Structures are given as structure tokens and as C-alpha cells.
């Protein structure tokens, strides 16, 4: 009887120590993310305050409104997509996991996003969370490519053929990768690379995955509307340029995603904007808009992460 009690006590102590280690790991990960986001915001606020421009405040409010709507729409698509892979959680937990992991993008290397996402779903298999996150990433990329291709096809500017060709090829490649047999094989290679001999059995049908690609177009259009109203808050711009602005914004985001070691694609995004937007606005406006949209995105994500953490507690 004494040996049984001693064994149980050892198990309880081991479980308690594991929980303590996990709690400190989560806190450290959150501290790293929060520090990176704070430095990012501080740097950009300083740049923005050094420039002279006049704001139309109700347009700025509309910009925040549409960007927040875009984030919420992305969250809703993620919740459905995660459910398809067997990753289930209530809305508040899902919101907390999604927005905290989004803030992980501000740490160079992009891997922090996945680490935070895995940390926020302790009850779900890590392989399922990782595969759902990868599918989300590729599906949103495919949606962005489609949007950029359509927007720049109808843009009244010359010299965009190369960008359209690249986005069309990228969209085709994303659709091939999302095909379940290819997705299963890529997941298998990845699991072998990280030395995990596991089989992921839950794959949604290809038709369902394509629906998610289509669904990601809606939040993209909302984010584009946020960018349009942000530019309009300090520079008069007709609504006829909305689609061009949206396409350019997402073309810049695609290039930013390829820059693995730049936090949230800093620097490379602005370069793409400078290729296209000076055709419809002065370069000084492009500079202000590029910096301001970083701030709007970061502050809105930080605000929504705080809201979900508060309500979850």
C-alpha cells in the first residue's frame, strides 16, 4: 500500500512539474512576442510622427473598422478550417489562439507563429494543428494570388504583366499543393524532417479546401477596403482605385511572406508598393501609407488579442 501511495505521489509531482514548465514556456513565448510587437509599433510611430500630413479622422476610423472586420473574418474561416482537421475549440479560445499566433509574425523567422499556435491548443494533436496552420497559410496565399491577378488585370497601368504571370503561376502551384494526395505527401516529408513518424489521417476533401480558398477572398477585400480608407484619410482618392490598391497591398504582402527573416515583411512590402502606386499618388503618400497600414494592422491585432484574452479570463 505504501509503495502504491509513493508511486502515485511521484506521478502527481511529475505532472505538476510538467504543468509548471509549460506555464513558464507559454509566458516566455508571450513575452518574446509582445516585445517584438511593441518595438515594431514604437519604431513606426516615430517614423510617422516625423512626417507632415493632415488627417480626415472619420476615414481613419473607417480604416480601423474594416481592418478589424477583416481580422474577424479570417478568424471565422480559420475556425471552420481547423474543425475540418479535427482541431476544435470554443470561439473565445480559438480567437485567443489565432490572434496571439498572428502576433508571432513580428518575431523574425516566422516559426514563432506556429509555436504560439501549438501552445494555444494543448488538447489537440500537434500534427493536426500544424497541418491545419499550413493549409490556412497556403489557402490564404492562393486567395491572395487570385486577388492580385484579377486586380492587376483590370488596372489601367502598363508594365504589370510580369507580376500577373508570377501570381498566376503561384496560384496554380498552391492549388496543386492543396490537393490531398500532395498535401499528405508534403506532411509526411515534414514529419520525417522533424523526426516524427506519424500519420495524419484527417484530411478534408479537395472541394472543401477550395471553398476555404474562396472564403479567404472576403477578408482580403475587407483589408483592401481598410487600406483604401487609410490612404483616403490624408490623400483624396477615387473609389475606382480601390481594386488596384487592394491588389497592390496583397502583392506586397506576398513578397513580404517570402522574406522569412523580416518581421512581418518589413521593407520588402514597401518596395512592391513603390513599383505600382506612384502611378496614382505621389511617392510621399506611398511612404506614409506603407508605414500607416503597418500600424493599423499591428494595433488592431494587438487590440483584438487583448479583447479575446480578457474575455477568455
Domain span at residue 299 reads 2-312
Q: Is the pLDDT of residue 209 over 70?
A: yes
Widest CA span in the chain: 84
Q: Is the pLDDT of residue 312 over 70?
A: yes
The tens digit of pLDDT for each residue in 156-208 reads 666 666 777 888 888 888 888 888 888 777 766 766 655 554 555 567 888 99
Looking at the chain, the whole-number percentage of residues with pLDDT higher than 90 is 21
The total domain count for the chain is 1
The tens digit of pLDDT for each residue in 224-253 reads 999 999 999 988 888 888 988 998 888 877
- Name the band, by pLDDT with cuts 50, 70 and 90, for residue 298: confident
The upper half-sphere exposure of residue 162, i.e. CA atoms within 13 Å in the direction of its Cβ, equals 4
Contact 87, 97 (CB under 8 A): no
Mean pLDDT, the chain, as a whole number? 78
CB-based contacts of 174-180 (< 8 A; 24+ apart in sequence): 174/138, 174/139, 174/141, 174/142, 174/145, 174/213, 175/142, 175/210, 175/213, 177/138, 178/135, 178/138, 178/139, 178/142, 178/206, 178/209, 178/210, 178/213, 179/206, 180/205, 180/206, 180/209
What's the pTM?
0.79
Q: Which three cell numbers stand for residue 119?
A: 501552445
Amino acid at each position: 500500500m505504501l509503495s502504491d501511495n509513493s508511486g502515485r505521489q511521484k506521478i502527481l509531482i511529475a505532472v505538476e512539474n510538467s504543468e509548471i514548465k509549460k506555464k513558464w514556456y507559454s509566458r516566455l513565448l508571450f513575452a518574446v512576442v509582445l516585445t517584438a510587437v511593441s518595438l515594431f509599433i514604437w519604431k513606426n510611430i516615430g517614423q510617422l510622427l516625423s512626417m507632415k500630413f493632415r488627417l480626415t479622422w472619420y476615414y481613419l476610423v473607417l480604416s480601423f473598422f474594416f481592418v478589424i472586420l477583416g481580422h474577424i473574418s479570417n478568424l471565422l474561416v480559420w475556425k471552420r478550417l481547423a474543425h475540418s482537421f479535427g482541431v476544435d475549440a470554443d470561439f473565445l479560445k480559438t480567437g485567443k489562439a489565432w490572434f496571439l499566433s498572428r502576433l508571432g509574425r513580428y518575431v523574425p523567422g516566422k516559426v514563432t507563429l506556429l509555436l504560439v499556435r501549438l501552445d494555444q491548443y494543448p488538447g489537440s494533436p500537434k500534427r493536426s494543428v500544424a497541418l491545419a496552420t499550413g493549409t490556412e497559410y497556403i489557402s490564404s496565399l492562393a486567395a491572395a494570388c487570385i486577388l492580385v491577378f484579377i486586380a492587376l488585370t483590370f488596372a489601367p497601368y502598363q508594365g504589370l504583366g510580369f507580376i500577373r504571370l508570377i501570381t498566376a503561376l503561384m496560384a496554380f502551384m498552391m492549388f496543386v499543393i492543396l490537393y490531398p494526395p500532395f498535401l499528405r505527401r508534403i506532411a509526411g516529408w515534414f514529419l520525417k524532417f522533424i523526426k516524427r513518424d506519424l500519420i495524419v489521417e484527417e484530411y478534408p476533401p479537395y472541394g472543401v479546401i477550395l471553398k476555404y480558398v474562396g472564403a479567404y477572398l472576403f477578408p482580403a477585400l475587407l483589408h483592401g477596403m481598410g487600406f483604401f480608407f487609410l490612404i483616403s484619410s490624408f490623400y483624396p482618392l477615387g473609389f475606382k482605385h480601390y481594386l488596384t490598391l487592394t491588389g497592390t497591398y496583397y502583392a506586397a504582402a506576398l513578397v513580404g511572406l517570402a522574406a522569412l527573416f523580416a518581421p512581418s515583411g518589413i521593407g520588402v512590402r514597401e518596395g512592391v508598393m513603390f513599383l505600382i502606386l506612384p502611378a496614382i499618388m505621389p511617392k510621399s503618400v506611398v511612404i506614409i501609407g506603407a508605414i500607416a497600414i503597418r500600424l493599423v494592422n499591428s494595433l488592431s491585432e494587438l487590440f483584438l488579442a487583448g479583447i479575446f484574452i480578457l474575455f477568455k479570463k
